[in-house]
Amino acid sequence: MSGVWPAVRQHGWVLGVLGLALLVGEVPLGLSVCCAPNGATGMGTAWFVNDFAQYESAMRQGAEQSGWLIHDAFTAEPNRAVLMFPLYVGLGKLAAASHIPAIALERGLEVIAHALLVISLWAFCRGFAPTALAARWAFGLALFGGGFELVAVLANGAVYGGNWSYETHGFGLLLAAPHVPLAMAATLELARIGLQPRSGITPWWLLRLVTLSAAIALLHPFHLPVLLSAMALAGLVFWQTGRGLANLVGGLVAIVACVPVLWPTVSTFTLDPFWVATYSAQNILPSPAPHELVVDLGVTLLLALGGACALRGRVAPFGLLLWLLLALVAMYVPVPYQRRLSFGVQPALAVLAANALVAACAVLETQRAAVLRLGVVAVAASGTMLVLVSVVASGFTNAPLPVYRSTRDLDAAAAWLNVQATPQDVILADWEAANYLAPRTPARVYGGHPVATLESGFKELATRNVFAHLSSLLVAQALGVQWLVYGPAEKDVAGPDGPAFRAGAVRVYRVNPTS
Q: What's the pLDDT tens digit per position in 50-103?
A: 999 999 999 999 999 999 999 999 999 999 999 999 999 999 999 999 999 999
In terms of domains, do 290 and 155 share one? Answer: yes
For residue 250, what are the contacts with CB-CB under 8 A and spacing of at least 6?
Answer: 193, 194, 198, 201, 205, 206, 209, 231, 235
User: What is the rounded average pLDDT for all residues in the chain?
Assistant: 93
Instruction: Calculate the alpha carbon distances from 152 to 46, 298, 371, 379 in Å.
Output: 21, 11, 24, 13
Tens place of pLDDT for every residue, the chain, 515 residues?
445 455 455 678 889 999 999 999 999 999 999 999 999 999 999 989 999 999 999 999 999 999 999 999 999 999 999 999 999 999 999 999 999 999 999 999 999 999 999 999 999 999 999 999 999 999 999 999 999 988 888 877 667 878 889 899 999 999 999 999 999 999 999 999 999 999 899 999 999 999 999 999 999 999 999 999 999 999 999 999 999 999 999 999 999 999 999 999 999 999 999 999 999 999 889 999 999 999 999 999 999 999 999 888 889 999 999 999 999 999 999 999 999 999 999 999 999 999 999 999 999 999 999 999 999 999 999 999 999 999 999 999 999 999 999 999 999 999 999 999 999 999 999 999 999 999 999 999 999 999 999 999 999 999 999 999 889 999 999 999 999 999 999 999 998 999 999 999 999 999 976 54
Q: Give me the domain span that covers residue 260.
A: 111-397
In terms of domains, do 119 and 225 share one? Answer: yes
Residues 461, 487: Cα–Cα separation, whole Å: 17
245 DSSP 8-state letter: S
Residues 469, 117: Cα–Cα separation, whole Å: 49
Residue 40 in domain: no
Amino acid at 406: S
For residue 494, what are the contacts with CB-CB under 8 A and spacing of at least 6?
Answer: none
Instruction: Name the domain count of the chain.
Output: 2
In terms of domains, do 383 and 470 share one? Answer: no
Which of 339, 374, 397 is the last residue before a domain boundary? 397
Residues 87, 216: Cα–Cα separation, whole Å: 11
pLDDT of residue 461: 95
In terms of domains, do 249 and 140 share one? Answer: yes
Half-sphere exposure of 102 (CA within 13 A, CB side): 23
pLDDT of residue 454: 96
Residues 17, 126: Cα–Cα separation, whole Å: 15
Helix, strand or coil, per DSSP, at residue 136:
helix
Residue 416 in domain: yes
β-pair type (483-486, 444-445): unpaired
Residue 437 in domain: yes
In terms of domains, do 487 and 350 share one? Answer: no
Q: Give the global pTM.
A: 0.95
pLDDT of residue 160: 80
496 DSSP 8-state letter: -
Which of 397, 419, 446 is the last residue before a domain boundary? 397
Q: Is 158 exposed, middle or buried, given 0-12, 13-18 or 19+ CB atoms closer than 10 A? A: exposed
Residue 392 in domain: yes
Contact by Cβ (8 Å): 82, 70? yes
In terms of domains, do 376 and 448 share one? Answer: no
Residues 420, 273: Cα–Cα separation, whole Å: 31
125 DSSP 8-state letter: H
Closest to 115 measured CA to CA, from 38, 207, 21: 21
